[in-house]
């Protein structure tokens, strides 16, 4: 079946080759027996395939066959991701894209792919003693937290899971409870659960919602989980844009194989973990993962520099007509505001920032990574608190001015909510978007802060900054943060 025709670019120049991809689903046979499943992963998106699976793949390559860890992955929100990967026996191409070229490698560590709704398969894996790790990439919104960080009991899917006593759950906390109950009942022993989403202390976040879900179902199960499950916190980093048809065509040119599920990622990657693995883990440390006693400085630096910069560019860049991170980062106004945001964060970060910032400037400038601003702009209600407002909080605690660049991002988010239909993209922002309609800048600023950071120190001052930025941005010839006209 012919699925597309594309002009391919290499090193930024068109090489003028028209490519027709013929999906014949051949060439994916394994030459070696797959590794035994010892990791069960929830959330089969591109990020997990560029990060956790790639680390596992490389650790396996350095390990004896008996010490290799195979991964069984379950789809999160969309069951559709399973079919193309299943047709390729879980194998796929990772295109590592630098500013100059693409390099293709095949990842074999994914040995089994399942529809997230397959509760029998999920529980089946959790019953196996050799399965020692459950990992998750379910996005910030997937943790189903309320404003206080507890399980959101007003979430319809959470309510649905509780009504079924978490059997065949649909939410991440519910699925964990369902799987861990099967493990306890089978006497399969202790296990590590590893969150790989961009939330501070993501292990503790996951532990809390899981225990709250478990308590609501069976108090003794909650006790068992508290004693037998290690919730590992991690900082994960690798920019992974959504795959395009052109990427599929490039994969075909580079590998001669038609791949329905390639993943594009940047050369940079980082993984820092804190916590115990009572049932073992792959030799991730041999391929660059760091195990530390205190993760907080690393996760702060990443969230407050990379992710905060992304969030600024997502809204401000879109306002200024850009569509990708590289375009927005090349825009002088956005660039100045990101640099200002980074300075505000750097003053309250516990680790050095120069090397990280130098790397970020290069990473954000990579013109061949088409990282869509719209992809990053999703779920702002979950992202702004940990990327932007946490910095304001830290600055206030350190006796510093709360920071105008951060306030500018809140203003941009408000404008985004006023201009877009957020009904499906960010459930937590729906009520706010409704309220913001027709509100003046001062009221809008306060309403947004009530949602993003109800307990923010020096909230009045911060709200004033947000309101000022709103006014500046909505004036016909609006001025920039530094006062210069764009
Ligand atoms: C991005 C992240 O979509 C987003 O919100 O900021 O996915 C970012 O690309 C990764 O955290 C990079 O490690």
Atom of ligand 1 nearest to the CA of 240: 9
pLDDT in tens, 84-106: 999 999 999 999 999 999 999 99
pTM of the model: 0.92
Q: Using alpha carbons only, what angle is made at residue 423 by residues 422 and 429, rounded to the nearest 5 degrees?
A: 60
313 with 377: CB under 8 angstroms? no
Measure 308 CA to ligand 1 centroid, in angstroms: 9
Q: Atom 3 (ligand 1): residue with closest C-alpha?
A: 376
Measure 129 CA to ligand 1 centroid, in angstroms: 34
Q: Atom 4 (ligand 1): residue with closest C-alpha?
A: 376
443 with 398: CB under 8 angstroms? no
Strand order in the sheet with 263-265: 102-107, 92-97, 263-265
Measure 366 CA to ligand 1 centroid, in angstroms: 15
**Three-state DSSP state, 379:** coil
Q: How far apart are CA 208 and CA 217, in angstroms?
A: 14
For the stretch 148-156, contacts whose Cβ atoms lie closer than 8 Å and that sit 24 or more positions apart, written own/partner, are: 149/205, 149/208, 150/208, 150/209, 150/212, 151/208, 151/209, 151/212, 151/213, 151/216
Question: What sign has the CA pseudo-torsion 14, 15, 18, 20?
Answer: negative
Measure 31 CA to ligand 1 centroid, in angstroms: 34
pLDDT, position 480: 54
Q: How far apart are CA 261 and CA 94, in angstroms?
A: 9
Q: Atom 9 (ligand 1): residue with closest C-alpha?
A: 239
Q: How far apart are CA 271 and CA 362, in angstroms?
A: 19
pLDDT, position 24: 60
Ligand 1 binding pocket mutation candidate from 202, 239, 311, 383 (most atoms within 8 A of CB): 239
Question: What sign has the CA pseudo-torsion 201, 229, 272, 268?
Answer: negative
pLDDT < 50: residue spans in the chain:
1-20, 479, 483-486
pLDDT, position 3: 34
| Letter string b/e over residues 72-108, b meaning 16 or more CB atoms within 10 A of that residue's CB | bbbbbeeeebbebbeebbbbbbbbbbebeebebebbb
Q: What is the CA radius of gyration of the chain?
A: 23
Lining ligand 1 with CB less than 6 A are: 198, 237-239, 306-307, 310, 375-376, 383
**Three-state DSSP state, 272:** strand
In Å, the largest CA–CA distance within the chain is 67
Atom of ligand 1 nearest to the CA of 198: 11
- If you write DSSP's letter for every residue of 121-169 in order, what string do you get? HHHHHHT-TT--EEEE---GGGG-B-TTSSB-TT-HHHHHHHHTTTTT-
Go through the domains of the chain in sequence order and give each one's CATH number. Answer: 7-293 (3.40.50.720), 297-478 (1.10.1040.10)
């Amino acid at each position: 079946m012919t699925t597309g025709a594309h002009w391919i670019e290499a090193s930024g120049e068109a090489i003028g080759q028209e490519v027709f991809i013929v999906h014949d689903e051949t060439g994916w046979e394994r030459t070696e027996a797959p590794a035994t499943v010892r990791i069960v992963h929830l959330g089969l998106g591109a990020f997990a395939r560029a990060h956790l699976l790639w680390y596992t793949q490389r650790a396996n390559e350095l390990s004896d066959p008996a010490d290799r860890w195979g991964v069984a992955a379950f789809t999160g929100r969309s069951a559709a991701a399973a079919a193309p990967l299943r047709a390729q026996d879980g194998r796929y191409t990772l295109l590592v894209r630098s500013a100059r070229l693409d390099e293709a490698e095949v990842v074999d560590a994914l040995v089994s792919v399942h529809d997230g709704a397959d509760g029998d398969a999920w529980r089946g894996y959790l019953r196996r003693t050799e399965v020692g790790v459950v990992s998750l990439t379910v996005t910030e919104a997937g943790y189903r937290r309320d404003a206080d960080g507890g399980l959101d009991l007003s979430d319809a899917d959470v309510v649905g899971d509780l009504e079924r006593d978490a059997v065949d759950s649909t939410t991440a906390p519910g699925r964990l409870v369902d799987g861990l109950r099967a493990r306890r009942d089978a006497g399969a022993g202790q296990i590590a659960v590893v969150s790989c989403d961009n939330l501070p202390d993501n292990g503790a976040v996951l532990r809390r919602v899981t225990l709250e879900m478990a308590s609501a179902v069976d108090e003794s199960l909650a006790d068992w989980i508290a004693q037998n499950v290690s919730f590992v916190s991690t900082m994960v980093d690798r920019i992974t844009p959504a795959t395009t048809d052109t990427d599929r065509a490039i994969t075909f040119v580079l590998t001669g194989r038609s791949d329905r599920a390639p993943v594009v990622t940047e050369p940079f990657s980082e993984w820092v973990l804190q916590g115990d693995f009572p049932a073992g883990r792959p030799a991730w440390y041999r391929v660059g993962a760091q195990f530390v006693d205190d993760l907080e400085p690393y996760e702060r630096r990443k969230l407050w520099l990379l992710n905060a910069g992304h969030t600024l560019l997502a809204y401000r860049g879109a306002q200024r007509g850009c569509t990708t991170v590289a375009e927005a980062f090349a825009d002088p106004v956005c660039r100045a505001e990101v640099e200002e945001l980074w300075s505000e964060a750097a003053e309250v970060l516990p680790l050095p920032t120069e090397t990280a910032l130098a790397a970020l400037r290069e990473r954000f400038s990579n013109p061949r990574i088409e990282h869509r601003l719209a992809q990053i702009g999703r779920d702002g209600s979950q992202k702004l608190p940990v990327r932007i407002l946490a910095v304001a909080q830290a600055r206030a605690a350190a006796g510093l001015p709360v920071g105008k660049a951060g306030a500018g991002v809140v203003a941009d988010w408000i404008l985004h909510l006023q201009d877009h239909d957020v009904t499906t993209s960010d459930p937590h922002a729906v009520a706010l978007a409704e309220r913001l309609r027709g509100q003046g800048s001062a009221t809008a600023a306060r309403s947004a802060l009530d949602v993003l950071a109800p307990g923010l120190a020096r909230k009045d001052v911060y709200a004033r900054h947000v309101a000022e930025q709103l006014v500046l941005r909505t004036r016909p010839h609006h001025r920039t943060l530094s006062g210069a006209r764009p």
